[in-house]
Structure 1
């Protein structure tokens, strides 16, 4: 029982076909796939999982396959959002709850399956979310739902593409223990960007380069000694010592009071029905005060950020002042967004237009998803400089959707930073980035923080992803209901 790819060519979309050298994966040989952004890790994982149409050669899969990936997550979220179009046809939309997503494809779940859903949901800490609409969950929570869904099927092969992205530290630790427990019953194939997430119990590592396996490691365990060649390769990284300048025509207008808070929230509260996400939160962000927001999945970190950006309707029911505007006093969303730069999983999901890479960066000058105005010559020059900074200048005219998830993420980071915003909101910005690009992006954010023009607001689950200029911390666990 093995997975074999023989002289394989697979069409993954109408316009994209990938070719693969011969590969054989043996049962029980747990395998890690890694490489720099754009090297084809997720593509190989999808093909191993049976995705795409074979147009040449042979793909043979013995046994059942479970697959969890960003692409799968995006597809389910998009399908649920399309249900919102039902009201155009005078049909009452019925969004799926988390439990329904988990049990998709199972006509009549058995008592044993219901029990297993409860057991797995408890491990991932989502048992209280099973009846909530899937579309209302955070990115980390939706990832947990999909992990439960695939684990429920007890597959022979479990293909996990960046499975720890979006998980808080406690959940990631429980999940690691679970994988260690189930590795006797299924073969695990895992795509990772971070060396720290490579499990020692894996025996094979495939390092991808330009869509092909550049080299590989086989060992009894992928311990520190076995991974020495990988560390040597990833030690070579580009240091960022300066950033492109600010565009005079697109910078945020000065606040009416220079020393006034950027954000002031009094007794902040967000609730969905009877479920209180957080309450009694008094918080002020002054210019130059860089903050990190911490807390487990579901503690309200993203909810808090969307209050500030205006993407959460409860911003109008709170006593919230943003950039001198009292929310609900007649201000427009553009008066708020002109001061903001945003990177988030939600924005990445929403950025479905297929404009060129340079247009994605230019869209940051106009706070738009897609580019609908003509940038000035100076703005295009600056956008190209940002592409050079993130080593994507060669992709300037490539369609956004044709790039890897990690390269898309780099573009959205440049888009958020391009106008040197008054407040840069970073909601798990390093998801999908390899170690080299992660260090580069953190260095870029540190430079922006030190410039004195931009205040950082940073949400992150990885303790190693530090930004030196951030000295203040808001722990959302302090604002959970006490009952």
Structure 2
């Protein structure tokens, strides 16, 4: 177990198909890691780096042991492809039968006794004389596992090791991994947290990034990179709060659950689908001689998600207050919202019923000690706290939101006892329960650490996947992009 592997600012290219960028990671003695993340984020690529795969483009990789045991779908496919190539032997008028299983397992085997025990445990004894390429996917997987486990590895890398195994084999494999955990450091790639063995000490979370354009030599044809990933977070499993937040993040990123339906009893009036939600024409805000917003034209169509960014003093909050009707100059501007021409007798509540709003200021105001479930339910009544009896259906919808957030087990916990990030998630759910046509998220990541920021962004992505609510995401940085938000308005500070 005396290893120390270090990845320092490491970038690795995989045949111009995938890129891992700026990896900084250490695997120290006594540690066992799980690598997890969304599909296409580079989990398997990171595991492959530890097996010496990929072209290092910058940075350094040190401490890799000489004997690495690897099981992955890519390695499995490569081995089968080599076997299939033997069919080309018909040039010599010879029918190739392929390599038998016993050769695959026992040739160059470092621990034949263990290999034989695993063959018997995994039920492969009757298949030892069969050609490797004639095995089923699950049987091939078992052969790969036996080869790796009996190679006396200094590091064992298992990419989705439990996939394709029957229940009995899965249990035996889990028991064997537990039995060697004190002597062999392991890195497991897993999609599901419930498959994580108890001996795991740390978790690495991978995330997708937009690939950087690759500079190519003039003599080489330029190839388009199909994807890129980064190591976004590492978590010590003993840090219960951080581990729970990572579980929530993975749940939000990978769950099949969608945004819960609205409650029919609180259904909002229908809007004209042919009309924009918001239209500002030459909108200006001035205080004396100071111009904050100058002749802004902006149209927000239904289903058209927007990011509004700009530095402090650029007028972001002023523009929002023109939309919500909270700015006194909204009646001196040409503003159309939700079918109303501003200043024609509409009430502020006729406007606000179509808007869900989340801000740091709202979180400061929401200091009541109501339960997590009731915080969400309060969104049906636009109240801070609960002062109206809720219906069974509203409770059901609130519980569906809690399940989506990965907080089902905390439905009755007091809101004011939660972490800052969990409070923010609940307030976004509260704003969404009525499925408002427009959801305004004013600096929703302000005050959040990186983990909770990613949680909030994952929830916003989930909301953007829906069809009924248009998201207006307000922040300082234009580069802080969210999947699903394709329109951007950048404000500049007037001198």
Query: In terms of Rg, which structure is larger?
Result: 2
Higher relative contact order (CA 8 A, sep 6+): 1
TM-score for both structures, normalised by structure 2: 0.48
